Structure 1
Amino acid sequence: MISLTPDDALLIADIQNDFLPGGALGIRGGDEILPPLLSYMRRFHTHGLPVFLTRDWHPPHHCSFRTEGGVWPVHCVAGSPGSLPPAIFDAPASAVIIYKAIDADHEAYSAFQDTLLHRHLRAIGVRRLFIGGLATDYCVLNTVKDARALGYAVCLLTDGIRAVNLRPEDGRHAEEEMINLGAVPVHVEMLTA
């Protein structure tokens, strides 16, 4: 069981239409994590704890797109319907949106890469991050790696992640890597506050 404390924050990666089933880069089962993530958001908001949401926010000719020589289909073009969260994903008005991968020539999987997230977290005294979202083997993994390197304690929301799985075991390997880095696997029923 885990009690929330005043130095905790919730960080949810890339809940955007293009990453959900039917989207340009739809992740199998991505929609299944929305209910637990909404439960986490309600818990954190009720306790007055900060909620951060990341969004891929690509220019139309981003280097990660296959049309530009990258590995992914065109997805999450800034301001497009695919770049937005689904209507069911009702975040609190106080949630802070972190836009990432906004430069055409740079990929950015981590929420910390080329953003002000670390400065913001330090300014409000966050020491532990609860991290979930999409996708386990890319944005979640790289965000957790950077969070640990920056000295944050991390709880990995195992009921709130799904993997792309370009290779069948990518998600499982990513979870193992994050746990080996010190991330504590949790699920929403473990939160006692």
Structure 2
Amino acid sequence: MIELQDHDALLIVDVQKDFLPGGALPVPEGDEVVPVLNRYIERFTRRGLPVFATRDWHPPNHCSFRDQGGPWPPHCVAGTKGAEFADGLRLPEDTVIVSKATGPEREAYSGFEGTDLAARLKDLGIRRLFVGGLATDYCVLNTVRDAIRHGFEVFLLTDAVRAVNVHPEDERKALEEMRRLGARFITLEALS
């Protein structure tokens, strides 16, 4: 069992409508993370621990979009319905929202890239991050990678992530890399 401590935070990665079934760039079964994340949110808020949430917040001419030569269809355009957090995701009012990939010429899969996320976490004395969200093989992987690089101990919430799997082995490779980097894998049942 892992016991929550005062220097812990929950980090929810990109659980936005465009990444759910029916969205512009759907993650298969992406909607299944929402009720599980809500249970994590309840655990963290009950202990008075902070919740952070990253979101893609793209301009309409973002470099990752196919019309601009990128690999993806337009998604999570700032201010649109697709960029909103998933219906049913019960983020607390004091959730710290971190917008990423906000400029047209720079991709940012990581919640740390081009943001003040690391500084905000460190200002709160956070040492351990519990990470869940979408997608395992892109934004979750890169966020976990950078969190470890910034010196945080990372717990991947394996019951609260889903992968895009553009290539069939992408999820497996992402999980292997996160484990190799030192992320610990847990599920809700392991959290006291």
Q: How many residues align?
A: 192
Contact 2:56 2:101 in 1 (8 A): yes
TM-score normalized with structure 2 length: 0.99
Distance 1:86 1:8 in 2: 24
Distance 2:172 2:30 in 1: 15
Q: Which amino acid aligns with 1:31?
A: D
Partner of 1:109: 109
Q: Which whole-Å deviations, capped at 9, do the CAs of 1:93-151 have from their partners, x for residues lacking one?
A: 01110000001000000000010101101100000000110000010000111111111
Shift of 1:85: 1.2
Partner of 1:66: 66
Q: Which amino acid aligns with 2:125?
A: G
Partner of 1:12: 12
Partner of 2:154: 154
Q: Does 1:166 align with 2:187?
A: no
Q: How does 1:50-89 map to 2 (within 5 A)?
A: 50-89=50-89
Partner of 1:22: 22
Give unpaired runs (5+ residues) of structure 2. Answer: none
Percent identical among aligned pairs is 57
Shift of 1:87: 2.2
Distance 1:150 1:119 in 2: 10
Give the secondary-structure state (helix, strand or coil) at the position aligned to 2:70. Answer: coil
Q: Does 1:129 align with 2:129?
A: yes
Give unpaired runs (5+ residues) of structure 1. Answer: none
Contact 2:8 2:127 in 1 (8 A): yes
Deviating above 2 A after TM superposition, structure 1's stretches of 4 or more consecutive aligned residues are: none
Partner of 1:98: 98
Give the secondary-structure state (helix, strand or coil) at the position aligned to 1:41. Answer: helix
Distance 2:122 2:134 in 1: 24
